Amino acid sequence: MPKGDHGSYLRIDVEEGGATEVPIPQEVRDALVGGVGLGTWICLREGGADHDPLSPRAPLVFAFSPLVGTPLTTSAKFAVVSRSPLTGFLNDAISSSHFAIEGKRTGYDALVLVGRAPALSRVVVEEERVEVRAAPELAGRAASECGMAGFRTSAIGPAGERLVRYATLSNDGRHAGRGGAGAVMGAKNVKALSVRGSRRVELFDPRGVVAAARDLSSRSFGPATAKYRELGTIANVLAFNRLNVLPTRNFRDGSFEGAPEISAEALHAMDRIGRESCAACTIGCEHIFRAPGGAAVRLEYETLFALGPLLGIADRGEVLEAAALCDRLGLDTISAGGTLAFAMEAGVGDLRFGGGVRPALEAIAARQGPFDLLAEGSRRASQVLGRPELAMHVKGMEIPGYDPRTLHAMALGFAVGTRGADHNRSGAYELDFSAEGFDVGRVVEIEDRTAAMDSLILCKFLRGVFPDFAREGAELLRLVTGRDIDLMAAGRRVCDLRKRFNVKAGWRREEDGLPERLLGGGLSRARLDAMICAYYRARKWNDAGLPGEEDACGT
Ligand code: SF4
């Protein structure tokens, strides 16, 4: 019996109702660890790069990891992997909490959905029992209203049912947010996946794991995580504004005159009602605020930026209400904000910077009238309207809240990101905000480290707690699995594998870049192109950005 994982995944055909257990070779688990790495391998193996993401044959992978279910802080996470309906390339989104723990207890390292159910359905997995049951009563409901007593559920909202290309999947109040995983599940006519089980994995060194968990928990209370505990990820709004890196009004500006109104300080003084954590987390970065209508809203920096400055909105109440609405409808807030910012500048309907957006969000989720086009995301909408220069995206994914005109390491991370503009897979902004400054080797190293953390999986907010993540992370993995694994090499393999997926899905060199608006001044097109070439060389890819012959795990 392997330690730390089960050694197989369950492939569920929601059309036929059958399920097949598929072994995962030991060398794959050693090479890619779990989480995003394992999920990408399974997605490739199941033909994910070969099918339209909204076709029945496209796989949707829920991948767990060796650390899930252990007492190690922040380890209750899972990856959702598929081809993205927004970008057409690989999408790996991470979510947290009880669904991860219960999902792994079903006895599999991943659950894979394929096919299209004949009617809107709930898929129930309880160890060897798999059921696809019609669930018409769930139609139109928020994900939070799709729970099932005794089970943990990941579900889509109305936007996922209507195949909005940036629809989310949600569980336990958390979201696999970016890239449209919710639309992939909606295309399968699956509203909810409910899991339960009692199959715990054996640990290689149970006492060692408990001791390491105790040590890591006590270190997680230290200064490296104080910002997240005290103010949350919204802590930096005023600092970003001063540094001119707070994208404003569709990236026309890098600072926002209304920043003080929507700052962490203002929100905490006026609207904060509490703090929460994911399951098995000792940090608790989730700060909860009260919207004017009474809803309790979990607010992250990216949501605040995308529904505030990016849209020219300085009204805290409007931002909180819009955030609550995105959660209820099941919309990714960054892509919703980026698409609305495009629409405001392009003059779609009566949208204008600084105006309210809630009716537009409702109409997008329902695909009503002109908002049907906005449900396609900013890239497709801008092409149809003949205004591609106004869409701020990379590979079709709307750009997060870090202005690449000033943050050049982040600019490179966005430009080459395999799932499009993405601060969570690159993390290169940490160079821009440090004394180190831009260094292409470090951009690659941070991306590899991030891929390793997302494969273990541990929360990235722990990164400052590890003086030497490669060594300490590998030791945690050894205590759980008994295997000595070079985590940075695994992270590099995961990045290579993502690129191979994209090449198979039709990636071309011109996909790596930034919108024209974000070039100029200190970041010219020539400079960005030189940075991209240096990145390819540092990854040992050729000048066209293609990985060599050597393949990770024979995919
Ligand atoms: S630090 Fe925040 S995101 Fe990370 S596991 Fe804890 S509560 Fe969840």
Q: Which of 234, 286, 458 has most ligand 1 atoms within 8 Å of its beta carbon, as the pocket-test mutant?
A: 286
- Cα 459 to ligand 1 centroid, rounded to whole Å: 6
The helix or strand, by DSSP H or E, that contains position 10, with its residue range, turns out to be strand 8-13
Where are the chain's structural domains? 8-196, 220-393, 408-538
Task: State whether the beta carbon of 465 lies less than 6 angstroms from ligand 1.
Answer: no
Distance CA 486, CA 217 (A): 24
Task: State whether the beta carbon of 284 lies less than 6 angstroms from ligand 1.
Answer: yes
- Cα 24 to ligand 1 centroid, rounded to whole Å: 29
CB atoms inside a 10 Å sphere around CB 261:
16
Nearest CA to ligand 1 atom 8: 278
Task: State whether the beta carbon of 8 lies less than 6 angstroms from ligand 1.
Answer: no
Judge if 220-393 and 408-538 fold alike in CATH terms: no
Angle in degrees, CA 37, 301, 313, rounded to 5: 135
Distance CA 339, CA 360 (A): 11
Q: Domain 220-393 falls in which CATH fold?
A: 1.10.569
> What is each CA distance from 278 to 75, 115, 175, 272, 427, in whole angstroms?
9, 31, 11, 18, 21
Task: State whether the beta carbon of 285 lies less than 6 angstroms from ligand 1.
Answer: yes
Report the nearest atom of ligand 1 relative to the CA of 282: 6
Distance CA 312, CA 321 (A): 15
CB atoms inside a 10 Å sphere around CB 222:
10
Q: Which of 65, 228, 231 has most ligand 1 atoms within 8 Å of its beta carbon, as the pocket-test mutant?
A: 228
CATH class of the domain defined by 408-538: mainly alpha
Report the nearest atom of ligand 1 relative to the CA of 77: 5
Report the nearest atom of ligand 1 relative to the CA of 462: 1
- Cα 122 to ligand 1 centroid, rounded to whole Å: 28
- Cα 453 to ligand 1 centroid, rounded to whole Å: 13
Instruction: Give the model's pLDDT for residue 551.
Output: 54
Distance CA 332, CA 166 (A): 6
Sign of CA dihedral 221, 224, 226, 231: negative
- Cα 70 to ligand 1 centroid, rounded to whole Å: 16
Coil, helix or strand for 346? helix
Distance CA 38, CA 53 (A): 19
Instruction: Give the model's pLDDT for residue 499.
Output: 97
Please identify every stretch of the chain with a pLDDT value under 70, giving residue numbers as ranges: 549-555
Report the nearest atom of ligand 1 relative to the CA of 285: 2
- Cα 287 to ligand 1 centroid, rounded to whole Å: 11
> What mean pLDDT is reported for the chain?
95
Strands 296-298 and 286-290: antiparallel
Coil, helix or strand for 278? coil
Task: State whether the beta carbon of 318 lies less than 6 angstroms from ligand 1.
Answer: no
- Cα 284 to ligand 1 centroid, rounded to whole Å: 6
Q: Which of 285, 288, 460 has most ligand 1 atoms within 8 Å of its beta carbon, as the pocket-test mutant?
A: 285
The values of phi and psi at residue 90, to 5°, are -65, 140
> Per CATH, is 8-196 categorized as 3.60.9.10?
yes
Nearest CA to ligand 1 atom 4: 459
Q: Which of 281, 301, 462 has most ligand 1 atoms within 8 Å of its beta carbon, as the pocket-test mutant?
A: 281
Task: State whether the beta carbon of 281 lies less than 6 angstroms from ligand 1.
Answer: yes
Coil, helix or strand for 179? coil
The secondary structure of 462-494 as a DSSP string is GGGG-TTHHHHHHHHHHHHHS----HHHHHHHH
Task: Spell out the residues 6+ positions from residue 389 whose beta carbon is closer than 8 angstroms to its own.
Answer: 382, 515, 516, 517
Task: State whether the beta carbon of 349 lies less than 6 angstroms from ligand 1.
Answer: no
Coil, helix or strand for 130? strand
